[in-house]
Amino acid sequence: MSRASEQAYATIRAHLVSGAVSPNEQLTEDQLAQIAGVSRTPVRDAVRRLEDELLLVRSDTKRLFVADWSRDDIEEMFALRQMLECHAAERAAQRLSRAQIADLETVNRTLKEAIEQPAPDVARFLEANRAFHDVIIDAADSPRLAQMLAKLVEAPVVLRTARNYSLDDLRQSARDHDELIAAFAASDADWARAVMGSHLRRAFHTFARAVGPAEAQKP
């Protein structure tokens, strides 16, 4: 992918996950080219990548829309993410260096500072949360795992979940991170896997409370 295509991809992706557009909103390549500040050719490359990540979808008439996710879609995404990130935590517990554990501690301090503002800074919380999980995924040293996680549209899911977090929810997330760091410092793979599992299930139930019960299945 060319440098212009990479720029278009990064800019458009950030726009999509920022909440600036609504689910099912129609977009055109011209609009995206204006947003990215590039020509339509690199935008087409970026769009194909974003479709692969399920951030953009095409209708039967080839029109481009912002993806939407039902509660069932997101429940499946959380379930898949839990399986993969628990595996990542287990691998990372056996591989994290002292410097990487120190990085986790620094990132989690930033996350706590974002929470304890007079009005919690959710954008900063999300940035720190992503950085925290990225350190773990990097330490897991599995390119296949990282690639699979990237396709689970983690950012929009976390964004929509974090918007529904209470202050207690945000603080609990930070405490979960503290316990993960303790598990990593002890090189305890089973402990790290268990904490990551409960951390992600708690996040899912926060989202589920906000969106309501799943639709009844049709007979």
Question: Are 49 and 103 within one domain?
Answer: no
Residue environment code for 84-115, b if the CB has 16+ CB neighbours within 10 A, otherwise e: bbbbbbbbbbebbeeebbebbeebbebbbebb
Q: How far is the C-alpha of 93 from the C-alpha of 101, rounded, in Å?
A: 10
CATH code: domain of residue 43: 1.10.10.10
Closest CA to 108 of 194, 176, 186: 176
CATH code: domain of residue 145: 1.20.120.530
The count of structural domains within the chain is 2
Question: Are 123 and 16 within one domain?
Answer: no
Three-state SS across the chain?
A: CCHHHHHHHHHHHHHHHCCCCCCCCEECHHHHHHHHCCCHHHHHHHHHHHHHCCCEEECCCCCEEECCCCHHHHHHHHHHHHHHHHHHHHHHHCCCCHHHHHHHHHHHHHHHHHHCCCCCCHHHHHHHHHHHHHHHHHHHCCHHHHHHHHCCCHHHHHHHHHCCCCHHHHHHHHHHHHHHHHHHHCCCHHHHHHHHHHHHHHHHHHHHHHHCCCCCCCC
Within a domain: residue 56? yes
Q: How far is CA 198 from CA 35, 99, 121, in A?
A: 38, 26, 24
Question: Are 54 and 88 within one domain?
Answer: no
**Residues 165-179 pLDDT 10s:** 788 989 999 999 999
Question: Are 27 and 114 within one domain?
Answer: no
Amino acid identity, position 52: D
Within a domain: residue 216? no
pLDDT tens digit at each of 219 positions of the chain: 688 899 999 899 888 876 678 888 999 999 999 999 999 999 999 999 898 877 899 999 999 999 887 778 778 888 999 999 999 999 999 999 999 999 999 999 999 999 999 999 887 898 899 899 999 999 999 999 998 887 775 555 555 666 667 889 899 999 999 999 999 999 999 999 999 999 999 988 887 776 666 554 433
Question: Are 61 and 77 within one domain?
Answer: no
Question: Are 102 and 12 within one domain?
Answer: no
**Residues 133-158 pLDDT 10s:** 999 999 999 999 998 887 775 555 55
* Tokens read off for 150: 């990237």
Question: Are 162 and 144 within one domain?
Answer: yes
Task: Give the domain-ending residue among 22, 43, 66.
Answer: 66
Task: Give the domain-ending residue among 66, 83, 117.
Answer: 66
Within a domain: residue 145? yes
Question: Are 104 and 156 within one domain?
Answer: yes
Within a domain: residue 219? no
Question: Are 155 and 197 within one domain?
Answer: yes
Question: Are 108 and 44 within one domain?
Answer: no
Task: Give the domain-ending residue among 31, 50, 66.
Answer: 66
**Residue 33 structural domain:** 3-66
